[in-house]
Chain A
């Protein structure tokens, strides 16, 4: 296996550089290979699937196949959640395709990898659709998203859709073992297993956990205990603490913790609400039959968060509902 030796982050160092090395996703990779046989006829591509399943990796592999060593010059990586609206995307794509026209040579076209494209509003996607059409001569798009249903129909119908499925646990385990061996890490079988359990099919999270755990263990063998520690530290402790405070009626303290999550960790409201959801299923003090009721509250406020204008208010309102739920005189 070839890897970028200079990369100190293992997620990058062990990111596969050719389609053959991609973990899982056999079917997707095979049909992509067929498409790539005749690059000029390649349509725009739409990759959808959960995080850490190889969407970006495959997109970068395609860039290498189409553009060889020049891929860095002819591939534009954009993140919908980073760009300030569709105008930025339009501008960057425009200037990019201008350059691309003059320099093409053996390169069939410029490539624009637009990650998290399901974060774009429907209006922005409509504008994107226009851009995709007008720049088709010089550029191809690879749109990456978690949910293809959040991509408007007109774009879906202009793209070849590839679904990435959650990775199989044994494949993640094998990949982690390979990395551990290559890095000379003394890992126990159980440690790998617990990283795999925790990563929920997300290879990026699994590799990051392995690297963090290796750093944490230092010269000691990497065992299950270390993994548990690292996992606990990596998930913000404030989330569970915040839920506990709310449910024991200490609303103001709980709201303070919420603010801390937003500023110190810079987390978006949608991330916080997802972590709340994960925590309530894991907290032992919450009886199983109440988890469903709480989840219902979380779902309601997740929806309001998307629709609403102010994250502070929606998340505080959620905590107030938790406070009521936890109060002994619940009505």
Chain B
């Protein structure tokens, strides 16, 4: 892998983002126990991890690294890093002057919905740590990271400008003894959207087994287009007849796989009109979902299979349809949740009250008590009032429970 072979060894070798590099080094050199942690954020492939690794090497830190592809539970963070955080002084006395730098990479991917405690564990780590802690994320404005921000200085990384990318690619071509058209390098630089890692990968893939690379050697598909929007992504995936193509589309799409999963689900019945086809597609989509469930922040090795299963549910078998159906571009689940928010909140507060008074959970209140409560409130004036008072229901709640289902039947 060229991305490994040409990993920057020193801070100076890290390409671009000079301002961010400076801020980071100043922070690291001035760090003492109790100081804020550094949160590096910016798009993928712009050198966040590379900078931390180079800085650790140059400043003589032992780098303790953990990222989203490791176990991500609170327990794991505490176990893996907490040990190092709390006991460095002990280690230091034994092993000499070794210093640790703790690096939690990709923290925006760090917490599945199961892990409410994850952010808390990180905050705990920051506060207890006797070593500097660095966090990296693609998107620092993620709501789940909000509570972290008061413990951090944030350092912003930007896309690498194409000329810098091209210059680096040129250098690497020389080192590899590769003769490449400057047009080709420019094309790679442009299509990388500022992602140096992607550019390097593209170059390696194109140059594989060659010593000369001309413009005419470049197949159309090699252009990395991160800007495939929702509509085009879906259309192309539903039109793909083989998995390789669908995968290529997915890779160059803006949509994350979770949203894509929901959108395939939403659109399946419009694309697969035949019941047998539909049920087979759903079967795969459901299997993909089972894998996503198992991944849940831990078994990242399964992600590839899950994505393949998900995409294979959408492949088209028969000939192209003359008229493409109008596809839904926003997951219906999001729309539904937004539209029914106030109703759901009301339902939650009713079930909380009922649950408290009847010694059950909200879920059981909803399932086993509310249906009867509705009938009681719909039908009997006096008792209805007693019940509402007893449960502490306000007018809005009573109206919701008694009024809504008043059909012709009653």
A interface residues with partner B (beta carbon < 8 Å): 6-9, 11-12, 51, 56, 60, 77, 79-82, 84-85, 87, 115-116, 121, 123, 204-205, 208-209, 211-212, 214-216, 218, 230, 233-236, 249, 251-252, 255, 259, 263-268, 271, 301, 304, 307-310, 312-314, 316-317, 320-321, 323-324, 327, 329, 331
Q: A218-B379, A259-B332, A308-B292 are in contact. Are A211 and B372 (CB under 8 A)?
A: yes
Chain B facing A: main interface SS: helix
Asked if A251 contacts B275 (CB within 8 A), the reply is: yes
Measured CA separation A186–B319 after assembly (Å): 68
- Chain A contacts for B161, CB-based, 8 A: none
Complex partner residue of A8 from B117, B262, B387, CB under 8 angstroms: B387
Measured CA separation A51–B369 after assembly (Å): 12
Asked if B360 contacts A56 (CB within 8 A), the reply is: yes
Complex partner residue of B371 from A7, A204, A236, CB under 8 angstroms: A236
What are 17 A-B pairs with beta-carbon distances under 8 A? Answer: A8-B387, A56-B360, A82-B355, A82-B363, A116-B364, A215-B376, A215-B383, A233-B409, A259-B336, A266-B351, A304-B289, A308-B293, A309-B295, A309-B296, A310-B265, A329-B276, A331-B276
- The reply to whether the CB of B95 lies closer than 8 angstroms to some CB of chain A is no
Asked if A304 contacts B366 (CB within 8 A), the reply is: no
- Chain A contacts for B351, CB-based, 8 A: 266
Across chains A and B, which 5 residue pairs bring their CB atoms closest together, nearest first?
A215-B380, A79-B361, A317-B286, A8-B390, A324-B279
Q: A77-B359, A123-B73, A234-B372 are in contact. Are A310 and B261 (CB under 8 A)?
A: yes
Asked if A324 contacts B286 (CB within 8 A), the reply is: no
Asked if A307 contacts B294 (CB within 8 A), the reply is: yes
Count chain B residues whose beta carbon lies closer than 8 angstroms to a beta carbon of A.
Answer: 68
CB under 8 Å from chain A, chain B span 300-355: 332-333, 336, 340, 343-344, 347-348, 351, 355
Asked if B289 contacts A85 (CB within 8 A), the reply is: no
- Chain B contacts for A312, CB-based, 8 A: 262, 265, 333
- The reply to whether the CB of B242 lies closer than 8 angstroms to some CB of chain A is no
Measured CA separation A116–B360 after assembly (Å): 9
Total number of residue pairs linking A and B with CB closer than 8 Å:
183
Asked if A208 contacts B282 (CB within 8 A), the reply is: no
Asked if B265 contacts A324 (CB within 8 A), the reply is: no
CB under 8 Å from chain A, chain B span 46-76: 73, 75
- The reply to whether the CB of B155 lies closer than 8 angstroms to some CB of chain A is no
Asked if A327 contacts B290 (CB within 8 A), the reply is: no
- The reply to whether the CB of B153 lies closer than 8 angstroms to some CB of chain A is no
Measured CA separation A87–B287 after assembly (Å): 31
Q: A9-B357, A56-B359, A216-B379 are in contact. Are A313 and B276 (CB under 8 A)?
A: no
Asked if B286 contacts A313 (CB within 8 A), the reply is: yes
Q: A233-B371, A309-B293 are in contact. Are A317 and B285 (CB under 8 A)?
A: yes
Asked if B366 contacts A265 (CB within 8 A), the reply is: yes
- Chain B contacts for A307, CB-based, 8 A: 290, 293-294
CB distance from B193 to the nearest CB of A (A): 29
- Chain B contacts for A320, CB-based, 8 A: 275, 278-279, 281-283
Asked if A313 contacts B383 (CB within 8 A), the reply is: no
Q: Can you list, as one digit per residue, whether each of B380-400 has a CB less than 8 Å from chain A (1) or not (0)?
A: 100110110111000000000
Looking at B279, B295, B369, B378, which has the most chain A CB atoms within 10 Å of its CB? B279
